[in-house]
Amino acid sequence: MGIGRFAYTPILPLMTTQAALTPQAAGALATANYVGYLAGALSGTASPRLARSTVAWRVSLVVVVGTLAAMPLLPNIIGWVLLRTVAGFASAVLFVIAVNWMMDHLPPHMPGWGFGGVGLGIALSGGLVLTMPATASWQGAWWSASALAALLGAGAWEMRGKSRPGTVPAPAVQAPPRRANRWFAVLFVSYTLEGIGYIIAGTFLVAAIRQHSSGWLGNGAWLFAGLAAAPSAALWAWLDGRWSHPTLLAGAAR
């Protein structure tokens, strides 16, 4: 999922120089991917069956690999927008199903490391382009990303495991108080603003660095961004047992 969604960032400079991708078109491709991701996340929320479907899991794995491989085969903005939208949708479905699986089958302290797979995918996408020769083409970069995603997807094809022993039935859901709803709205708006800032910087990080420095520095920054993201959820889970959520959110915002 990390490769399918974020390989675009290190490949973007190659497409700008070799495929004459304009800044407007680059923004359109990024937007298409995020719209597809939002739709996929909402579909998993709306359909509990989809969120735990083995068929949806495997189809999404194939779709992510296929959309990466098809980018060089549809060398026009309309085809690219379509592929990135579909890739975003499939990536979100993978994420929702993986989260449900981790919560069902892993010990309480392990899902945080599972979330680190996204950061690892980011790091792998950056490292992949970083190690390519200077004469590499943008088409080859997409095909290499597709091959890497296929390799990881093969390992994830069989998602099975035993449920945690002694699982306690969930308590009856009670309607949250009105005050909680109000604070949820504040948190939702804050998270939306954070998402805008993070995704703009994340998408164009490599391209922005390459404008003022050598190419390896941009991809190197993306590699380290992924490596930093990989343990972040596990670290948050560890800190969650020691500090309150408001304190942690305030600290992260700083």
For 238, residues 6+ apart whose C-beta sits below 8 A from its C-beta are: 112
pLDDT for the residue numbered 62: 96
pLDDT for the residue numbered 112: 83
For 200, residues 6+ apart whose C-beta sits below 8 A from its C-beta are: none
pTM score, two decimals? 0.84
Q: 177: which DSSP letter?
A: P
Question: What is the enclosing helix (H) or strand (E) of 111?
Answer: helix 111-130
pLDDT for the residue numbered 166: 43
Rounded Cα distance between 230 and 71, Å, is: 27
For 1, residues 6+ apart whose C-beta sits below 8 A from its C-beta are: 64, 91, 94, 95, 98, 117, 118, 121
Question: What is the enclosing helix (H) or strand (E) of 187?
Answer: helix 178-210
pLDDT for the residue numbered 174: 57
Helices 8-18 + 138-156 axis angle, to 10: 160
Rounded Cα distance between 149 and 124, Å, is: 10
Burial of 74: CB neighbours in 10 Å, binned 0-12, 13-18, 19+: middle
pLDDT for the residue numbered 94: 93
pLDDT for the residue numbered 187: 81
pLDDT for the residue numbered 168: 42
Using 70 as the pLDDT threshold, list the residues of the chain that sit under it.
160-180, 214-215
pLDDT for the residue numbered 176: 57
pLDDT for the residue numbered 165: 45
